[in-house]
Structures are given as C-alpha cells and as structure tokens.
Structure 1
Amino acid sequence: MSEYKEIVKDGVKNIGNRMKKFFLYVIGFILFGFISYLVICNFTYSNGTRSGYLVKITKKGYIFKTYEGTLGITGLAQTKQGFMSTNWDFSVRNKKVYHTLDSLQGVPVKLYYKEKLKAMPWQGDTPYFVYAAERVKQ
C-alpha cells in the first residue's frame, strides 16, 4: 500500500509543478501583452502644428490630473451668420508648457504637437500632446 501512496504522491507533485509552470506562462504572456500594448499606444503617429486662439487651458481629472486645453481655429467653416470657429482639444504633459500656454490665453498662438495612437488615462484625454507653443505675431 505504501508503494501506491508513493505513486499518488509523485503524481500530485508532478501535476502541481505543471500547474505552476502553466500559470507562470499565462502571467508572463499577459504581462508581455500589456507592455507591448503600452509601447504600441505610445508610438508617435504624426507631428505637426496648429494655429489659432487659445480658448482655455485647465488641469482636470478625478484620479489622474492632466493638463487639457482648447484651441479655437477660426475661419474654417462659413455659415449664414458668418465664420464659425472650430475647436481643437489637446493635452499637455509638461508643466512648463502648461504655464507658457496659461500666459498666452486669448492671443494667437502656434502649437507644436505629437499625435499618439492612443492616450492612456494618466497621460491625457486626447491623443494630441502639445510640447511647445509660441505667440504668433500679426
């Protein structure tokens, strides 16, 4: 009977080792997938500039506080009442750029931005990240 118990004990130990390996592979696969997703989403899709009047710049969010802004781009669409302003929403990662934008509200500005494939919640609300701003001389 002890030989039978020994065989069962070895079988249970073998199954336990296989289950540990299986769960380690699953956790490794999930971790690899998550890290790959973060890297791919942070890929820069495009670079560019936009010009217009800075409408607002705010720091907002329930859990992740991010800097968000709106640029008013005028003269793009005409209605019966005149020209309609189009708004462009963007996010800012750098506090220095945020303070620069805060001082430029209501004046014509040129914003330099990078568009990411997807913004993570801790990065901002939009995939457009402004990294520099300058006042446009008229």
Structure 2
Amino acid sequence: MTTSQNTEKKKSGVFGKILAWLLIIVFLAVGGLVYYKYYFVFGEGVKSGYLNFAVKKGNLFKTYEGKLIQEGLRSQSGTGVSNNEFEFSVESDSIFRILELNSGKYFDLHYKEYHGVLPWRGNTRYIVDEVINMK
C-alpha cells in the first residue's frame, strides 16, 4: 500500500466515526425531546367539582374524556363571568366506569399533566389517574 492510500483510509475512518457519533447524539436528543414532550409528568394535583360528563369518543383511537365544573366564578379576559371548567382524559377503564355511572356527583380527582397530547392517551394534557373522593 502506498502512503496516499493509508491517508485516504484514515480520513474516511475519521469521517465515519464523526458521522456515527453525530447520528447517536441526534438520536439521543430526539429521544429525549419526545420523552420530555409526551411522557414526562410536568405537574400533578387534585381538582374538585361536579362531574358534567364522561364519554368515550374518537375516530381512530377511542379515548375517555370528561369535564368537571368547579365551584366559584372566574372572570375571563375581564369581559364577564363564567364557570370554572376542568377538561380531562382518563386512561383506565375502571376509573371511567366509576365516572360514567356517577355523572352529576361531586368528585375529587387526582391528575397528571403532560406537555403534549398523544392521540391514544386522550384529547387533553390532563390525565386523571385516581378518584380520591366522591360525594
């Protein structure tokens, strides 16, 4: 082998290593962003109110959705007064059955908040994962 062939192999080997590391870094960065956007729990808490509805709906992915009407009044954009509403999704069949059978009752619901919405998880960023209290 000549010196020019050795130099050419070293250059292509270095370029291949750089490209491989760059692809690994890009893959890890995209994976981290997807995790942060759709699977990282941004916040969690409890909301209380009267259950307005609980429905199963969707065109491709059938998801469980619901709405709580919270007590009190809130001014929106300074123009008037409206009810406080909390729209949420439910992943669990058993929790949905409890909500479905007790519409109109007062609930304390524990929820998790995500940054993004996944179509098979529900239509909202708020996912109810526990019924704490029902009156």
Same fold, TM exceeding 0.5? yes
8 Å contact from structure 1 (residues 104, 135) kept in 2:
no
Structure 1 residue ranges without an equivalent (≥5): none
Task: Indicate how the Cα distance of structure 1 residues 88 and 10 shifts in structure 2: closer, same or farther if over 3 A, else same.
Answer: same
Give how far 1:47 is off: 2.6
Q: CA deviation at 1:33?
A: 1.0
CA deviation map 1:45-73 (0-9, x unaligned) = 33321121212223344554432221122
Equivalent position SS for 2:26: helix
Q: Is 1:76 matched up with 2:73?
A: yes
Of residues 56, 65, 73, the one that matches 1:59 is 56
Q: Aligned-residue CA RMSD in angstroms?
A: 3.0
Query: Equivalent residue for 1:29?
Result: 25
Q: Using structure 1 for the length normalisation, give the TM-score.
A: 0.69
1:101 is matched with which residue?
Answer: 99
> Matches of 1:49 and 1:65 in 2, distance apart?
25
1:45 paired with 2:42, answer yes
Task: Read off the aligned partner of 2:50 and give its amino acid letter.
Answer: Y
The amino acid that maps onto 1:46 is G
Q: Give 3-state SS (helix, strand or coil) of 2:13's partner.
A: helix
Note the alpha carbon deviations across 1:74-119, whole angstroms, 9 max, x for none: 43248xxxx8422211122222212222122222222111223x13
Write out aligned runs for 1:117-132 (5 A).
118-121=115-118, 122-132=120-130
Which structure has the larger Rg over C-alpha atoms? 1
1:132/1:29 CA distance change after superposition, 3 Å: same
Amino acid at match of 1:68: E
Task: Please give the per-residue CA displacement for 1:12-71, whole angstroms capped at 9, x wherever unaligned.
Answer: x44443443233222211221122224434333333211212122233445544322211
